[in-house]
């Protein structure tokens, strides 16, 4: 079933919408970290977002534009600020629809279902992995951190993917080489070292320092 993220700081509204949508069988969570909505988005990897405009710290337009850097999932704005200027702004910032508060839950549900049908009859799902604000996007083989995006090579992506999926655990060099052997190219110990060094340099240029730690004689870890 589809996953839906609700970004709404009025918890009465948020939980009412959540309960209604769960009754239709959807998996729904409400954002709690309004300082970093993007982290909640990446961790949950929703297939649709309901976004309020007026939020603590940063408004919904900001988070919509941040999400659009890594994903094309449908975003429906829900707001009492339903004047023409806000509706136009919502669409221009990457929103797909706008529902004015107060709204009928059944009408909102109908819009959500129609949006999901249109979006996923033709498009696949976004594959994201997030840790410490670093977002790895499998759909375009990039890393995003604090609004900055960097492209990775196939080998760099595979290395970072394995390390992020195994965060908190040491990954041996042998395991990384086996993962890289799944591609067409043969990778030896020296090639792995070069790839890790290049990956670290790209991460540092994006502002991600000391993300990958070497465990001498064993392998690497992301903590």
pLDDT of 176-209, one tens digit each?
888 887 665 667 788 889 989 999 999 998 889 8
Contact 39, 32 (CB under 8 A): no
Q: Which of 143, 4, 19, 169 is nearest to 69 (CA)?
A: 143
Cα Rg of the chain (Å, integer): 20
Token digits of residue 176: 């990384």
Domain at 3-120, CATH from 3.60.150.10, 3.40.50.2300, 3.40.50.920, 1.20.1560.10: 3.40.50.2300
Domain with CATH 1.10.10.10 in the chain: 128-221
Token digits of residue 18: 């959540």
Q: Confidence band (pLDDT; 50, 70, 90) for 123?
A: very low
Which CATH architecture best describes the domain 128-221?
Orthogonal Bundle (1.10)
CA distance 24 to 223: 38
Contact 150, 142 (CB under 8 A): yes
What pLDDT shows up at residue 184? 54
How high is the mean pLDDT of the chain?
A: 86
What pLDDT shows up at residue 185? 63
CA distance 179 to 196: 14
Whole-angstrom CA distances from 93 to 21, 46, 88, 125, 145 are 26, 19, 9, 21, 20
Write the CB contacts of 49 (distance below 8 Å, at least 6 apart in sequence). 4, 5, 6, 7, 41, 67, 73, 74, 75, 76
What pLDDT shows up at residue 122? 47
Token digits of residue 91: 């669409």
Can you give the pTM of this predicted structure? 0.64
What pLDDT shows up at residue 199? 93
26-69 tens-digit pLDDT: 999 999 889 989 888 988 889 999 999 889 989 989 999 989 88
What pLDDT shows up at residue 121? 60
Domain with CATH 3.40.50.2300 in the chain: 3-120
């Amino acid at each position: 079933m589809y996953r839906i993220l609700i970004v709404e700081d009025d918890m009465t509204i948020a939980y009412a919408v959540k309960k209604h949508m769960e009754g239709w069988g959807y998996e729904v969570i409400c954002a709690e970290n309004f300082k970093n909505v993007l982290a909640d988005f990446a961790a949950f990897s929703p297939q649709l977002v309901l976004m309020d405009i007026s939020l603590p710290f940063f408004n919904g337009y900001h988070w919509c534009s941040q999400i659009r850097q890594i994903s094309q999932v449908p975003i429906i704005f829900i707001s009492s600020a339903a004047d023409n200027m806000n509706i136009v702004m919502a669409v221009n910032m990457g929103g797909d629809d706008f529902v004015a508060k107060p709204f009928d839950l059944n009408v909102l549900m109908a819009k959500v279902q129609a949006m999901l049908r249109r979006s996923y009859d033709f498009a696949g799902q976004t594959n994201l992995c997030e840790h410490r604000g670093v977002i790895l996007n499998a759909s375009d083989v990039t890393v995003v951190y604090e609004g900055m995006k960097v492209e990775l090579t196939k080998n760099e992506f595979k290395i970072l993917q394995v390390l992020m999926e195994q965060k908190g655990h040491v990954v041996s060099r042998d395991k990384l080489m086996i993962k890289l052997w799944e591609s067409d190219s043969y990778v030896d110990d020296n090639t792995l070292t070069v790839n890790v060094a290049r990956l670290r340099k790209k991460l540092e240029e994006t502002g991600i320092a000391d993300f990958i730690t070497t465990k001498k004689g064993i392998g690497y870890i992301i903590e």
